[in-house]
Amino acid sequence: MKRLTVKERIRITKRGIQILKQYCPGLAGRKAVSALLAAVQPLVSVWLSAKIINELAGVRRIKQILFLVVAVMVTNFLVSLFKSMVDRIAEEKEAQMWNFFGKVFADKAMSMDYADLEDVKILQQKQAVSENLFMFGNGLGQLVWGLNSLVNAATNIGLSLSLTISLFLSDTGSDVMDSPLWIPGIALCVALGGIANSRATREENAVFEAWCNNTVWFNRAFHFFGHVLPVEPERAKDVRIYNQNRAADRAFQKMKEREKETAGHVLRMASYPALAALVVGIGNVICWVFVVLKAYMGAFGVGSIVQYIGALGKLGTGLQDMMFVLADNEVYCGHLQGLFDYLDIPNHKYEGTLPVEKRAFCNDGDTDYEIEFCNVSFRYPGAEDYALRNLFLKFKIGERLAVVGKNGSGKTTCIKLLCRLYDPTEGEIRLNGVDIRKYDYDEYLSIFSVVFQDFKLFSFSLGQNVAAAMEYDKEKAEQCLKKAGLSGRLKTMPDGMDTPLYKDFETEGVEISGGEAQKVALARALYKDAPFIILDEPTAALDPVAEAEIYTKFNDLTGDKTAIYISHRLSSCRFCDEIAVFDNGAVVQRGSHENLMKEKDGLYHELWTAQAQYYGIAENS
Ligand code: ADP
């Protein structure tokens, strides 16, 4: 990993604090107050205790002694009370913080360009950030603890310095013991411990970091084989049939072998703090001898020994902690930088600002508005071949267009481009003559209702799935389910619209068949009530009766909306005003069924004849 400069670390830390403020407001602040109180309490006790002992060993004023004892008790009580109140609130926030860190990651994933989800380089980056989230909270967790330690260390240093100053100002009468050279000497003894500890931490971190990088593959393998493969119902079927758990056993075996190779890291990591402890011990002994000698030579009372030893000890720990904080900052800044690189991946789709004139899509007789593919070519990220080549396609609002063609001819790709899941590699798609990239993305998307071939439903209630929202209009959702042909099944659902689908969250969730799911997806598209409705193989999972029902009701389903209907079942497309025939990423024919059938050499005729033989349909049926 590239070494970060101090300036970069300050910039990264500041941005990390901004994210903490945004996602977990109050957490870092409360932890800092708690850290400050944790540092103040023992030092105030040391200071007051020293005063009590000095009083006992000196003039022994009973009133003064009582006052000091009460002061120790009251300050301890108040600081403890306040600290535990702050701690309780901070603990609650801390328990949630990993979820909030997950939200930082999820928010970015949600707003990313869809095309980036398939870009291998970005996928690797995303994978690395999500693994880092799992292990280090992307540096954000370390930042919370780092800030906590920073406040604690700074308070310890500040307070213990103020309690130590008089150690060097008190005279013994001996030139040697009163020499100002003791100031840098003692400072060096205290600082040496800090330096040794910080070096130890840096070495330890480097070994740990290398070890973690070594185990990335195993984490991935175990996440997949241990958490994904055996429990995801779609995969669990195949795992059982093909006994794929053997792959997991192999990965486990490999990890055990690797563990032996990496066992040395534990010994190396353990030896660094031990060496540092030795240096700290030597420094402490020198400090103690100096303080005791000064007291012995009459510079101060016996109580002050407690104060100076306590304060020097705390100064040492404060310095060590500060070194830890700085060494740690370098490590988590690296993790944070990885997160920021990921968050800074540009989202091109959000660059457009033009509002979409929704009135344009009402069928109010004004059909001047149209969508046009102008010489569009498209290659998927990382793919060598074009999925669409020089595509020209124009359709007007209110039209029903069927898109047919062999598998892989580019039908779905054309829809993905229309919905701006991808942007064309060359050429442009225009809405009313304006490149669709110029429109506000969310507004532009709001004009489409799409049922993709590989649609997904969610583990919410049936009604929430239809509405794609937590709150919804029940009556409207029921109407949409009825239109999609699911009213019979709705009656058998134990809680009607409130019945949870699938069992991910609710044990009483209902598993529905592929065909039923397709109807729910259709109902969801109808509920959105967008002016454009696009159905990509909407009957693929339906039985022949349900399929026929959808065709006969198609006009009713789509109303006066613009409809694009993709199918490889040609007989199902005849209710559309026009049919566009795709081949090899381009539209090769376009027209009504009757006209296309007249072109005997055309692809449509060829496909129709092939299907007619298979399904037993007459040419003119
Ligand atoms: P259709 O819908 O007509 O069956 P598609 O539009 O799905 O065809 O696919 C057109 C071409 O693009 C095919 O060659 C397919 O393999 C390719 N393709 C589809 N999706 C991807 C993808 N995500 N990455 C790379 N190539 C893809």
pLDDT digits (tens, 9 = 90+) for 186-216: 999 998 887 887 788 777 777 777 777 766 6
- Specify the pLDDT at position 359: 45
* pTM of the model as a whole: 0.72
> Does ligand 1 lie within 6 Å of residue 409's CB atom?
yes
Inter-residue contact 532 to 448 (CB < 8 Å): yes
What residues contact 443, with CB distance under 8 A and at least 6 apart? 355, 356
Cα-to-centroid distance, 412 and ligand 1 (Å): 7
Q: Which residues contact 29 (CB under 8 A, 6 or more apart)?
A: none
Tokens of 620: 């003119």
Mutation choice for ligand 1 from 376, 389, 412, CB with most ligand atoms inside 8 A: 412
Residue 96 CA to residue 30 CA, distance in Å, equals 14
373-395 burial, b for 16+ CB within 10 Å, e for fewer? bbebbbbbbeeeebbbbebebeb
Please list, residue by residue across 312-331, b when 16 or more beta carbons sit within 10 angstroms of its beta carbon and e when fewer do: bbbbbbbbbbbbbbbbbbeb
pLDDT at 610: 86
| For the CA of 409, the nearest atom of ligand 1 | 3
**Per this entry, what is the length of the chain?**
621
Cβ 118 under 6 angstroms from ligand 1: yes
**CA-CA distance, 560 to 362, in Å (whole number)?**
8
Residue whose CB lies within 8 A of the most ligand 1 atoms, among 373, 380, 568, 607, for a mutation test: 380
371-447+530-615 and 7-214+258-343 share a CATH fold: no
**Cα distance between residue 480 and residue 520, in whole Å:** 9
Q: How far is the CA of 452 from the centre of ligand 1 (A)?
A: 13
For domain 371-447+530-615, which CATH number applies: 3.30.450.20, 3.40.50.300, 3.20.20.30, 3.30.70.980? Answer: 3.40.50.300
In the predicted model, residues of the chain with pLDDT beneath 50 are 359-368, 621
Six-digit token pair at 191? 């600082």
pLDDT at 365: 43
> Beta-carbon neighbour count of residue 423 at 10 Å?
18
pLDDT at position 241: 73
Q: Quick check: CB of 388 below 6 Å from ligand 1?
A: no
Residue 321 to residue 427: CA distance in whole angstroms:
59
Tokens of 486: 């699911």
Whether 407 lines ligand 1, by a CB cut-off of 6 Å, is: yes
Question: Could you tell me which of 565, 594, 590, 597 has the C-alpha nearest to residue 392?
Answer: 590
Burial (CB < 10 A; 0-12, 13-18, 19+), residue 436, is: buried
Q: What is the distance in A from the centroid of ligand 1 to the CA of 414? A: 10
Q: Which residues, other chains included, contact 42 with Cβ-Cβ below 8 Å and sequence gap of 6+?
A: 310, 314
pLDDT recorded at residue 361: 47
pLDDT at 199: 80
Our answer on whether the CB atom of 380 is closer than 6 Å to any ligand 1 atom is yes
The domain segmentation of the chain, as residue ranges, is 7-214+258-343, 216-257, 371-447+530-615
Nearest CA to ligand 1 atom 24: 380
The answer to whether the CB of 416 is under 6 A from ligand 1 is: no
Residues 129, 134, 139, 140: what is their CA dihedral angle, to the nearest 10 degrees?
A: 110
With H, G, I as helix, E, B as strand and everything else as coil, classify residue 577: coil
Give residues with Cβ within 8 angstroms of 269, minimum separation 6.
Answer: 204, 207, 208
Ligand 1 centroid – CA 411 distance (Å): 8
Q: Which two tokens stand for residue 309?
A: 């030893």
DSSP state at residue 2? P
pLDDT of residue 367: 38
What is the rounded distance in angstroms from the CA atom of residue 497 to the CA atom of residue 440? 34
CA dist 89 → 69, 92, 96, 562 (Å): 31, 5, 11, 54
CATH number of 7-214+258-343: 1.20.1560.10
Distance 413 CA to ligand 1 centre (A): 6
Q: What would the two tokens of residue 227 be? A: 């958490």
Six-digit token string for 520:
């729910």
Look at the alpha carbons of 306, 307, 313, 317 in this order and tell me if their dihedral is positive or negative.
positive
Gap between the Cα atoms of 618 and 597, Å rounded: 12
Task: Let me know: does 308 contact 161? Beta carbons within 8 Å.
Answer: no
R_g (Cα) of the chain, nearest Å: 36
Helix (H, G, I), strand (E, B) or coil at 252: helix
Residue 517 CB less than 6 A away from ligand 1:
no
Ligand 1, atom 25, residue with closest C-alpha: 380
Asked whether the beta carbons of 426 and 377 are under 8 A apart, the reply is yes
For 205-256, how does the pLDDT look when each residue is reduced to its tens digit (9 = 90+)?
A: 777 777 777 666 666 666 777 767 666 766 777 777 777 667 667 767 777 7
Determine which helix (DSSP H) or strand (DSSP E) holds 64, and give its type and residue range.
helix 62-111
